[in-house]
Amino acid sequence: MPLQLYFPDGVPEGYRRILDSDKITQVLVKGLVAMHSNLKNLSDKAYSDVHNIRWIKRFMSGPIPESEWLHAILFKPELWPPMSKHDRTALIHIKRLMQLNLTNHRPVFPRGSEPSQKEIKAGLDYLINRSERLFDSAYDEYRKTLNRVAKPIHAICKSEGEECTLKDAVGIANADLYSMREIDRFPGLAPQMKDYLTAFLDHLES
């Protein structure tokens, strides 16, 4: 959506800093790029959870389908049973987390191996349960990222004569990240990291 539809009276200064990619925004983006790299191992763990045949056997009543089916279900939300917003954002977070590693391809639904609605629900319930551990690790990396960028942001504020503690700098970085999501502008980030951050913050708020 064009920004003028968001802000017909002009873009507020806080958002303008992001659009103009000022020094603070550049520091935050650099930190988020590093966060993307640091989440690759967690992305692989999510992929392993989704393809864990040992667990899948526990809730499949019939022959075990190809290991791709639960991954494929994540890309077909129209097949998901009714669930809470928290559970839905948890599943979207897992999907976006897997996509941070480009080798984790989008699967093709195995033809002739479609599970029943009961099995779909059991499979998604399993992933929702596993999502808590994954999200806790992702949240730790999020906090580490904010703390890493706080020191250079603090230095920028001091150099411009602004009163700013390290705690304030963490708050600035966090607020700017939410602003990026609000206006759907993540300058300098890969599309899959943009999608991931949106899913992460959505789940954090759910």
Distance CA 180, CA 201 (A): 11
Q: pTM of the predicted model, to two decimals?
A: 0.88
**pLDDT band, residue 88 (cuts 50/70/90):** very high
Residue 139, token pair as written in the block: 């949240």
In this predicted structure, the answer to whether residue 3 has a pLDDT above a threshold of 50 is no
Per-residue model confidence as pLDDT tens digits over 31-83: 999 999 999 999 999 999 988 877 777 766 665 556 678 888 888 899 899 99
Cβ atoms of residues 133 and 14 within 8 Å: no
Residue type, 104: N
